[in-house]
A and B are shown apart, each in its own frame.
Chain A
Amino acid sequence: MIVDLPNTTTAAVSKRLVQLRADTGAMALSRVLTLVVVVTDDAAEDAIEVANDASRQHPCRIIVVVTGNRRGAARLDGQIRVGGDAGASEIVVLRLYGPLATHGKSVATPLLLADSPIVVWWPKDAPKAPSADPIGAMGQRRITDSARTEGAPRTVLKRLATAYSPGDTDLAWSRVTHWRALLAAALDQPPYEPVTEAVVVAAPDSPSGHLLAGWLAARLRCPTSIARSRAGTGVISVRLARASGTVDLVRPEDGNTSVLSQPGQPERTLALPHRSDAECLADELRRLDPDEVYAESLATGLATVSATSRTASEAVRAGLAPSPAEALATTTRLRRSARALGSSAVVDKMPMPSEAASSESVKEAAAARLAEVKERRS
């Protein structure tokens, strides 16, 4: 249900919320947090959709503060979305015009849930100092998105690092969680050797690549550098050099499958899909305490990462980074060699295998297969 309240006051919005709740039953009683989204008009709908998706995992009240035209008379347009139009949450959209546009805090305050944490999210253009922002200051957690903030990633991240205050976090950081998990898992296995050098290949416009490199530098305390891939390609590869050889994790451009290679181990593929904004936001809402590891990567780590002017292909040629083309070939090769393979389209068309089985035929099949495998492996 969508209820429009043009030219209204927060008191009226509040009252209507209570009334809607009474009409539809006990919804919204167990919301665990308030998510305040600060956004401009053009990005509002997309942001609402993402927040709505994320709220399926964390039922919350979403207050969207939309800053409109600053000229003209002060005016507040409200809109309430509940039920089918708001998933597991309740959404209050507040459009601010005129002098009111700079006083988002005053309209959000009366609508915050009692006694529960506040999370602030800027889907685009984060403020220079999130914790000094009037709305940001209310939140326990402030989520920026450096990938969608005006400026070169390195500059944006430096600014965020200078202004860092516990509770700050960035969606570019949650985008690399899977990468970090795979790399950490690789180091869980022997040989237990220190990493002597780390090279990240990422697009120059991707703050995620910088944060990943910052994290590696901070944790591994080894020389870490970034090589540039084409703009818009995101993170392409990570190479960790150790005495016994290198650990390479490569996700070729536009692919969703990565290849992990380690010395003494066969190459392995793994799905490494690009994470959606909703997934990342849901991740951010899962924990509400300061993220120290992010802080470390952003501040101490990133400062020691050397940004070379080397391009990705130069790095590959110089033997510093794994080759995405090879990784792509590996994926195809492994797919071809797998016997039970199949894209879903192929498997879909297969008939269901027969359930009938006589002991003899199964025994024969086992014996025949055993002979076959023994021959293949000898």
Chain B
Amino acid sequence: MSPTRVTARSNPLRDPRDKRLPRIAGPCSMVMFGVTGDLARKKLMPAIYDLANRGLLPPGFSLVGFARRDWEDQDFGKIVYEAVRQYARTPFREEVWRSLAEGIRFVPGAFDDDAAFDLLAETVAELDEQRGTGGNHAFYLSIPPGSFATVCEQLERSGLSAPQQGAWRRVVIEKPFGHDLESARELNAVVEGVFPADCVFRIDHYLGKETVQNLLAVRFANTMFEPVWNNRYVDHVQITMAEDIGIGGRAGYYDGIGAARDVIQNHLLQLLALTAMEEPVSFDAHNVRLEKEKVLSAVTLPDDLATGTARGQYAAGWQGGDKVVGYLQEDGVAAGSRTETYAAVRLGVDSRRWAGVPFYLRTGKRLGKRVTEIAVVFTRAPHLPFNDTATEELGQNAVVIRVQPDEGVTLRFGAKVPGAQMEVRDVSMDFGYGRSFTESSPEAYERLILDVLLGEPPLFPRHEEVEQSWRILDPVERYWSRKGATPDQYAAGTWGPASADDLMHRDGREWRLP
């Protein structure tokens, strides 16, 4: 008997039936730009610790921080330590921390400083020798998009973007991917000019892979939803992402961008694509992406943008017991700013499945509560063998996919109210992931970072999808800027401006109360 062959493709110790075995990333390090930011402290560093704690990081994994600070390695270690202690999801274990701490390095530097990037290149090379990271390095650009170009050029100049034979270099960027079609193309040219397309990971943390996969499972692993998932039974679809917070300290980023670019372009259009797409041939990233691109290319705007869109700006008001200021009074917002903090739009999908079914997308800040959901609202039964009084309280059936918080699915349907009278009223049947499965599911960033290190093609947008979504949104933005007027004001803590309600009323529909 000869020993089993081992090749790059077939590892005898891996077996598709062996579902226990986690995929551990190969030797690698992560270089993080923007380590002083909130995201890095609250999400990225804790996620890395959690991955280490779950045994999913390779031996010798190293974390290099890059920032405009005069710090030593141990200073950065302290930053990571505090972030881990405060925000990590899994319990603190001394031995996990110590082996992580051994690989922590810090490079002080500004983005325009050649010496700093040379130092980074040396640091990374040293890690390969000392800790066996094997020339594999991921660059996480947790920095404003304005600096992408400089950093990418620097990475190229210092030779950091070019791996040796058999190694990889990957880059992770976060939304926003541009502010219109043209700038998205420019940004893409910069990044993909330095890194090949499949080494660029665009991260939309909001749409964690878990959420996407849950949605696909609900739709395609069951028989009871798909048969009614079309224009014969679906009256319309509402996709909502509401935030209860204002812009906080992000005026510099937000003012001039607005809700539509910030949220509709990426999150809501992605949710629309996942809701409306046909069944992919398989669930690998490539085929899912194909279907998403297909359905996005079939998305149409309303003929009259004046009646098919609405936008608003929050005014001062009371929210959840706090008195809050209006958008125009926030620090750093330009006087008379026309940036919208609420946007709603009615879209159509030109396909046999969806012809005539409107998709209403809305998003806003300082709304009633924080919630993201997809509501598929069904048509009324064609004939009701009850008298009017019996069904006057009966609404339309709905399948509501709650994305957050409390991820799950709600079914709404009519049931008889107990009693001598025949009376049908809406009831809810509720499923929560948190109740049926794990109480502590991995944070979206854990999966994201692991996917980057493993080189799993992400379920996240490739450049083509980003372009498609700008194609949809650009005319709306152009229309709004041409119209010029200030967005309609709505009191903080309410569900948006009256014009958004009018948008629905004109179609004889109502926004759901999420």
Q: Which residues of A contact B (CB under 8 A)?
A: 29-32, 56-59, 88, 174, 177-178, 180-185, 187-190, 192-196, 216, 219-222, 256-258, 260, 262, 265-266, 268-273, 283, 287, 291-293, 334-335, 337-344, 347-348, 350-355, 357, 359, 361-363, 365-367, 369-370, 373-374, 377
Let me know if B384 is at the binding interface, CB within 8 A.
no
Q: Which residue of A lies closest to B14 (CB)?
A: A184
Q: Are A373 and B109 in contact (CB under 8 A)?
A: no
Beta-carbon contacts under 8 Å, B217-231 to A:
none
Name the residue in B96, B98, B166 with the highest tally of chain A Cβ atoms < 10 Å from its Cβ. B98
CB–CB B69/A293 < 8 A: no
Residues of B within 8 A of A178 (CB): 55
Q: Which residue of B lies closest to A352 (CB)?
A: B78
Contact among A265, A340, A348 for B132, CB-based, below 8 A: A265
Interchain CB contact under 8 A, B115 and A177: no
B38 to chain A, nearest CB (A): 13
Residue on B with the closest CB to A341? B101
- Residues of chain A contacted by B113 (CB below 8 angstroms): 362-363, 366
**With contact pairs A178-B55, A194-B5, A350-B74 given, residues A344 and B103 touching in the complex (Cβ less than 8 Å):** no
In the bound complex, what is the Cα–Cα distance between A185 and B110 (angstroms)? 36
Q: List 24 A-B contacts (CB under 8 A).
A: A57-B437, A184-B13, A193-B6, A219-B15, A221-B2, A222-B3, A222-B4, A257-B95, A266-B130, A270-B60, A271-B53, A287-B20, A293-B17, A293-B20, A337-B130, A339-B74, A340-B77, A340-B102, A340-B104, A362-B113, A362-B116, A363-B113, A366-B115, A366-B116
B148 lies within 8 A of chain A by Cβ: no
- Find out whether the CB atom of B108 lies under 8 angstroms from the CB atom of A362: yes
Give CA–CA (A291, B16) in the complex, Å: 11
Chain B interface mostly: loop
Name the B residues within 8 Å of A370 (CB-CB): 115-116, 118-119, 122
Q: Which of B24, B82, B99 has the most CB of A within 10 A?
A: B99
What 5 A-B pairs come out closest when comparing CB atoms? Answer: A353-B75, A268-B59, A340-B73, A268-B60, A340-B77
In angstroms, how far is the closest chain A Cβ from the Cβ of B263? 31
Q: How far is the CB of A214 from chain B (nearest CB, A)?
A: 13
Do A181 and B77 have beta carbons less than 8 Å apart?
no
Q: Which residue of B lies closest to A353 (CB)?
A: B75
User: Nearest-CB distance from A53 to chain B (Å)?
Assistant: 11
State A357–B70 Cα separation when bound (angstroms): 6
- B282 located at the interface, meaning its Cβ lies under 8 Å from any Cβ of chain A in the complex: no
Q: CB-CB < 8 A to A340: which residues of B?
A: 72-74, 76-77, 101-102, 104-106
Chain A contacts for B118, CB-based, 8 A: 370
Judging by beta carbons under 8 Å apart, are B69 and A339 in contact? Answer: no
Residues B71-93 near A (CB distance < 8 A): 71-79, 81-82, 92-93
In the bound complex, residues from chain B placing their C-beta under 8 Å from that of A347 are 74, 77-78, 81, 101
- B126–A377 contact, CB under 8 A? yes
Which residue of A193, A258, A271 contacts B52 across the interface (Cβ within 8 Å)? A271
Among residues 5 to 41 in chain B, which have CB atoms less than 8 Å away from a CB atom of chain A? Answer: 5-8, 11-15, 17-27, 36
State whether the Cβ of B58 lies closer than 8 Å to any Cβ in chain A.
Answer: yes
- Least CB distance from B439 to A in Å reads 5
Q: Counting CB contacts under 8 A, is B436 at the interface?
A: yes
Contact assessment for B69 and A353 in the assembled complex, using a CB-CB cutoff below 8 Å: yes
Decide yes or no: A221 and B3 within 8 Å by CB, A57-B439, A188-B11, A362-B109 being known contacts.
yes
User: Given A194-B3, A293-B18, A187–B102 Cβ distance below 8 Å?
Assistant: no
Residue pair A271, B93 in contact (C-beta under 8 Å)? yes
CB contact between A190 and one of B8, B77, B97, B435 (< 8 Å): that residue: B8
Separation of A292 and B17 alpha carbons in the complex (Å): 7
Residue of A88, A343, A344, A352 contacting most chain B CB atoms (<10 Å): A344
A236 CB → nearest B CB, Å:
17
The CA of A132 and the CA of B12, in the complex, are separated in Å by 33
Please name all residues of chain B whose beta carbon is closer than 8 Å to the beta carbon of A31 when the two chains form the complex. 436
Contact status A266-B440, CB under 8 Å: no
- In angstroms, Cα B101 to Cα A271, docked, is 11
Q: Compute how far the CA of A5 lies from the CA of B1 in the bound complex, rounded to whole angstroms.
A: 61
* Docked CA distance A189–B28 (Å): 12
- Which chain B residues border A56 with CB–CB below 8 Å? 438-440
B11 and A184 within 8 A (CB): yes
Residues on B with beta carbons closer than 8 Å to the beta carbon of A357: 68-70, 108
Of A189, A268, A292, A365, which one neighbours B26 at CB under 8 angstroms?
Answer: A189
Q: How far is the CB of A378 from chain B (nearest CB, A)?
A: 10
Q: Which of B414-467 contact A (CB under 8 A)?
A: 431-432, 435-440
- With A338-B102, A362-B116 known, 10 other A-B pairs at CB within 8 A are A192-B6, A194-B3, A195-B3, A257-B99, A268-B60, A271-B93, A344-B94, A351-B78, A353-B75, A366-B107
A308 to chain B, nearest CB (A): 19
B131 at the interface (CB under 8 A from A): yes
B246 beta carbon closer than 8 Å to chain A: no
A193 to B10, CA, bound (A): 11
**Chain A residues whose C-beta falls within 8 Å of the C-beta of B439 in the assembled complex:** 56-57, 59, 88
Q: Which of B286-328 contact A (CB under 8 A)?
A: none
Quick one: which of A193, A216, A268, A353 contacts B78, CB cutoff 8 A? A353
Q: CA of A334 to CA of B59 in the docked complex: distance in angstroms?
A: 12
Using CB atoms, name the residue of chain B closest to A289: B19
Closest chain-B Cβ to A245's Cβ sits at a distance in Å of 14
Q: Which among A192, A193, A362 has the greatest number of chain B C-beta atoms within 10 A? A: A362
For B510, list chain A residues within 8 Å (CB).
none
A270 touches B17 (CB 8 A): no
Contact B126 A268 (CB under 8 A): no
**In the complex the two chains form, is B4's CB within 8 Å of A221's CB?**
yes
B129 within 8 A of A: yes
Query: Per-position contact with A for B128-147: 1 when CB-CB < 8 Å, else 0?
Result: 01111010000000000000
Cα-based distance from A177 to B20 in the complex (angstroms): 7
Nearest-neighbor residue (CB-CB) of A216 within chain B:
B13
In the bound complex, do residue B122 and residue A365 qualify as a contact, i.e. CB atoms below 8 Å apart? Answer: no
Alpha-carbon gap, A182 to B59, bound state (A): 9
Query: For the complex, is B499 an interface residue (Cβ under 8 Å from A)?
Result: no
Residues in B with CB closer than 8 Å to A216 are 13
Which residue of the partner chain, among A260, A352, A374, A377, contacts B59 with CB atoms under 8 Å?
A260
Q: A260-B59, A373-B126 are in contact. Are A220 and B74 (CB under 8 A)?
A: no
Interface: B214 (CB within 8 A): no
Chain B residues whose C-beta falls within 8 Å of the C-beta of A361 in the assembled complex: 70
Cβ-defined contact, B438 with A219, below 8 A: no
Check A194/B6 contact, CB under 8 A, given A283-B20, A335-B102, A361-B70.
yes
**Does B211 make an interface contact (CB < 8 A)?**
no
**Does A196 contact B3, Cβ atoms closer than 8 Å?**
yes
How far is it, in angstroms, between the C-alpha of A265 and the C-alpha of B1 when the chains are bound? 30
CA distance A262 to B26 in the complex (A): 13
Q: Are B81 and A344 in contact (CB under 8 A)?
A: yes
Asked if B123 is at the interface (CB within 8 A of a chain A CB), the reply is yes
Determine whether the beta carbon of B11 is less than 8 Å from that of A187.
yes
What's the minimum C-beta distance from B392 to chain A, rounded to whole angstroms? 28
